[in-house]
Structure 1
Amino acid sequence: MVRVIEDVFGIAVNPMTQKTEHVRRFTLCSEKGMSVSILTLGATIQSVKVADFNGKLEDVCLGYDDVAGYYRNQKSYFGATVGRVANRISRGHFKLCGKDVNVSRNFKDRYHLNGGFVGFDSVIWDVVGIHKDGVTMQHVSPDGHEGYPGEVTVNINFSLNETGCFGMRIEARAKATTCINISNQNYFNLAGHGTGKDTLYQHMVMIRANSIVDSDKEQIPTGKLMPVRNTPYDFTTLTNLGKRLNQVYRCPICGFDNNYCVDVDPNQVKLVARAVHPCSGRFMEVHTNQPGLQFCTANNLPDEERDEIPNIGKDGAHYVQHGGFSMQTQKYPDAVNNSDFPTTIINPGQLYDHQVVYRFGACPKRV
């Protein structure tokens, strides 16, 4: 039986109301010892504790011990729900219903990233339901916020079960035609959140995708898809991540930060990715109804080998370049400017329904 434990994580100013509010934390605990903690600040996944093949629990989710940590490192988006549109919109501009729409250009003053200056990651979400297996949070995004037309109401149901499945169901409805592409920017290291680059290189990764979205040096899509076969981006079978990282290390982004085209049926939730840390036995599966999976290897974190100042996370851990990985389910980046991509446009009366389940466990220890 799953227990839901609530405590106060801290206080913060809600940018939507300019009022100081409590940041609440909800910890979902299974009888087998697994737990997941979610904050009302940014609907953020703050902790995921999973046992290895010996039953030893470790927190495998990168994050911070207090509200100040999340504010200091806001651009990392660790564990945060991002939107109204996750990822990039080129030039912060698109056409909708024949009209030009300009959203905030919050990155390098050139394009829109993860919802803008005050995205879903920055607000304090309302709690609208506490259930036997989880919690539901809500945010109402006003018409015109960050340039987006139409008021949008978003509900996220977070749940955990005894089989190690941590699920998020993100539903949204709009009062006017707009675009929606909500995601959660989780970062994991299955050896433990603070174990760094060496253990990340030990991971094995599988992504069920035959192509990625081709993009330029600014990671803006060109509108084309690139086949992964016979390239370092091929994870169609379980592959050592360290080997692949060494193959792409000298590329412009020094690692992986690519949208994989998993192309599942929107009415079905299917397995699209798997990560395994052989030394601990821990694994994570990703099941979703979304067509894209943004796979990222924390390329923008400090590189201690170049004497860059580390990002200090939970328990004083040093978060460094390639110290974690992210598997974010979503639509393709800049889809609103690419008509061949799965659409992000939602009309009034239409339901945006994003389902994702992260299944955690441990493989038996090899003799």
Structure 2
Amino acid sequence: MSQIVIEESLFGKLSNKQNVKKYKMTNQNGFSVSLISYGASIQAVHVKDKNGQVVNVALGFDTLEEYLANSYFGSTVGRVANRISNAEFNLNGIVHNLEKNEGKNNHHGGSSSLAYQNWASTIVDNYVKFSYVSPDGEGGFPGEVWFDAIYRLEENENILLIEYKAITDKPTPVSLTNHFFFNLNGHDSNETIRNHLIRINSDKILEMNSDNTVTGKVIPVESTKNDLRNYTLLSDRIEKDVKWPENGFDNFFISNDSSSDLKELASVKNPSNGIKFDLKSNQLGLFFYSGNFLDIKTSSGANYNMHHGFCLEAHNYPDSVNQESFPSCILNPDIEYSHITSLAFSIEN
């Protein structure tokens, strides 16, 4: 018999009268993760620190209205995560024009992103399954695509496993990620992430243009601020109260392991309370964003300001639809897209 307890409740109603559901999953350690069907999103992650105090490390909101007003917090992002340059791509000789929702580029799929959809949801045994069917042409992308997002907890370990699946009836780009924001001090601590230690298993990053699209060039991290191959105190790399682009991280780090196996991409530690976070994925790299533009006061009283949360978004290379040298993100009808990411929490005294 499963030791995972899953509770379902009503989180809110959209203007079209659709119910947005909330699910709280708890394992036998008391580790719990709360999810909402809007965006197939992570709403809260409660974990004990070294003193036995329960800490919610996930930035999120208590009301649906706040999710509608603030993009991507804990959401499933796609059809294609990150930026597509010039909001267009050529697939099999046909140019597909997308919404320009960030300057001249398409970001996270535009206004029809999976992050803005209310997914169908159900409890299956010991996990929660969200499903969404994206119609042919939605957001400018070809093909009808059937998406599943599955969230499950380990019974004895504080691990959240995220599994994304997709099938399509036409060739189309697919590259999903979860856009969680975490702060190991606690989401309502009013402390930045500068006291965190981070390690990313990456020798190389993608060079960025000023508009945060990629140039197509791969550059080494050695002797740069992006060398995070050993645990690095973020306050040594992120200055206090200095804004982007002079400060912070907003970069795609290429995994040293290019296999499709589940491998460790990043690890983050908070020496203050002992909480340690490890991210494994079968993806080719991750985007590290240090909350450079956060400026939100929540209804719960928490303030999410600059550098008050980090994102580690595992996915395929950004803009791979326009970069011939990058691994392809094209999903064909005879293949199932499979993305697995493991989020593990532990205590390190």
Q: How far 1:73 moved relative to its partner?
A: 1.4
State the Cα distance separating 1:266 from its structure 2 match.
Answer: 4.4
Q: Secondary structure at the match of 1:106?
A: coil
Give the conservation status (yes or no) of the 8 Å contact 2:260–2:283. no
Q: 1:101 aligns with which of 84, 88, 96?
A: 96
Q: Mapping of 1:65-84 within 5 angstroms?
A: 65-74=62-71, 77-84=72-79
Match of 1:268 in 2: 261
Deviation of residue 249 (structure 1)? 4.8
What CA distance in whole angstroms lies between the structure 1 residues aligned with 2:222 and 2:212?
A: 20
Matches within 5 A, 1:1-367: 1-13=3-15, 19-74=16-71, 77-108=72-103, 110-127=104-121, 129-161=122-154, 162-196=156-190, 198-246=191-239, 249=242, 252=245, 254-302=247-295, 311-313=296-298, 315-364=300-349
Q: 2:75 and 2:325 mapped to 1: Cα distance?
A: 28
- Rounded to whole Å, the distance in 2 between the matches of 1:245 and 1:53 is 26
Identity %: 33
Question: CA shift at 1:253, angstroms?
Answer: 5.9
2-structure distance, mates of 1:202, 1:52: 15
**Matches of 1:150 and 1:290, distance apart in 2:** 23
SS of residue in 1 equivalent to 2:112: coil
Contact 1:140 1:154 in 2 (8 A): yes
Residues in 2 aligned to 1:271 and 1:181: alpha-carbon distance in whole angstroms: 19
Q: 1:315 Cα shift?
A: 2.1
Q: CA deviation at 1:314?
A: 5.9
Q: CA deviation at 1:132?
A: 3.5
Per-residue deviation, 1:242: 1.2
Measure how far apart 1:115 and its partner are: 0.8
* Number of aligned residue pairs: 346
Which whole-Å CA distance do the structure 1 matches of 2:228 and 2:110 have between them?
31
2: distance between equivalents of 1:33 and 1:132?
A: 19
The Cα shift of 1:97 comes to 0.7
Q: CA deviation at 1:301?
A: 1.3
Q: Distance in 2 between matches of 1:211 and 1:314?
A: 40
Deviation by residue 1:53-98 (Cα, 9 ceiling, x = unmatched): 1111010000110101111213xx1101110001000000111011
User: After superposition, what is the alpha-carbon deviation per residue over 1:2-28, rounded to whole angstroms, capped at 9, x for unaligned?
Assistant: 111111111114xxxxx3211101111
Matched residues in 2 for 1:353 and 1:253: separation?
36
Write the letter of the residue equivalent to 1:2: I
CA distance, structure 2, for counterparts of residue 165 and residue 251 of structure 1: 32
Which residue number in structure 2 is paired with residue 306 of structure 1? none
- TM-score (normalizing by structure 2): 0.96
The answer on whether the counterparts of 2:243 and 2:292 sit within 8 Å (CA) in structure 1 is: no
After TM superposition, where is structure 1 displaced by more than 3 Å over at least 4 residues in a row? 247-251, 263-267
Aligned to 1:16: none
Shift in CA distance, 266/71, structure 1 to aligned 2, threshold 3 Å:
same
| Contact map agreement 2:26 2:33 (CA 8 A) in 1 | yes
Answer whether contact 1:164 1:361 (CA < 8 A) is retained: yes
CA shift, 1:250, in A, is 6.3
Question: What CA distance in whole angstroms lies between the structure 2 residues aligned with 1:253 and 1:169?
Answer: 35
Contact 1:151-1:175 within 8 A present in 2 as well:
yes
Shift of 1:316: 1.1
* Mapped partners of 1:248, 1:292: distance in 2: 29
1:268 positional shift: 1.0
Per-residue CA distance 1:145-171 (angstroms, 9 max, x = gap): 010000000111100112111010101
Query: Counterpart of 2:99 in 1: which secondary structure?
Result: coil
1:24 is paired with a residue whose SS is strand
- The Cα of 1:236 is off from its aligned counterpart by 0.2
Distance 1:279 1:122 in 2: 36
Moved more, 266-275 or 58-67: 266-275
Alignment TM-score, normalising by the size of structure 1: 0.91
User: Quick one: structure 1 residues 300 and 187, their matched pair in 2 at CA, closer, same or farther if it must change by over 3 Å?
Assistant: same
Change (3 A) 1:60 1:247: closer
Q: Which runs of 5+ in 1 are unaligned?
A: 14-18, 303-310
Structure 2: 5+ residue runs without aligned partners? none
The alignment partner of 1:295 has SS state of: strand
Question: 1: CA distance between counterparts of 2:243 and 2:307?
Answer: 14
